[in-house]
Amino acid sequence: MFSLKNKTAIITGGGSGIGKAICRLFAQQEARVFILDLDEKGSADTVEQIQKAGGFAEFSICPVDQESAVQKAIQAIAGRHVPDILVNNAGVAHIGNIENTNASDFEKLFSVNVKGVYHVTKACIPYMKTGGGVILNLASIAALVGLPDRFAYSMTKGAVAAMTLSIAKDYIQYNIRCNSISPARVHTPFVDGFIAKNYPGMEVEMFKKLSASQPVGRMAKPEEVAALALYLCSDEASFITGNDYPIDGGFVKLPV
């Protein structure tokens, strides 16, 4: 089950965290993995890990918020292998409410998190229209519930959830499925960096506090999000489209 043999998967933000875990698992399931990311070091490490395990992976340095760069990268991949799977994982975070979020930060969040999904998806869909495909977007519980000091980030993830529904509806006749995943807190290097930057000397205490905000009492592992991504991108999920899947340790429905 859940084989991706002979499938070509394009994954944005595959150099770290959730994206890295998705790349590794998809390659393990025999997909050809192509990474689009600005993190050259992290992407190279992901590719090396996959290749050492006997899988296929390549990466391209690509700013997803720049349409011309995205078009060039996708055309180069599609010239060799038609994309079957697209995972829009790349994104940036931001702390702040509407009053202390300045216009430049707002625009940066929108550019990467919203326009990035738009650019990459728009570039891939023409190739998928001939034989079908799967698009998976990384949304967030921030699109589902009110989170303090996440104004701009929540805005972008709400847009991602809405785009998911629209794409699913518009392309269902082409056998293109589109779903999204909404994680709660996931223990990634970003979380560790955020805690170290904002709470120096209180790292252990804050890690425990953030972990306890999920009813199950811990953060998710990137590999757990990757497992859900694998299912939704596999043929076993061929009857699923236009849905969002919280992976949140009970955060949305069972608040502490």
Q: What is the pLDDT of residues 82-137, one digit of tens each?
A: 999 999 999 999 999 999 999 999 999 999 999 999 999 999 999 999 999 999 99
Phi-psi bin for 217: left (phi > 0), alpha (psi -120 to 50), beta? left
Please report how many Cα atoms fall inside a 13 Å half-sphere around the Cα of residue 154, on the Cβ side.
16
171 part of the active site? no
pLDDT > 90? residue 180:
yes
Q: Where are the alpha helices (DSSP H) in 12-66?
A: 17-28, 40-52
Is 82 strand, coil or helix?
coil
Tell whether the model's pLDDT for residue 256 goes beyond 90.
no
The reported pLDDT for the residue numbered 194 is: 83
* Of 118, 127, 153, 171, catalytic: 153
d(CA 162, CA 145): 15
CATH level 3 topology of 8-184+221-247: Rossmann fold (3.40.50)
Q: Is the pLDDT of residue 170 over 90?
A: yes
pLDDT band at 197 (very low <50, low <70, confident <90, very high): confident
178 pLDDT higher than 90:
yes
Average of per-residue pLDDT across 20-24: 98
Place of tokens 């349409």: 67
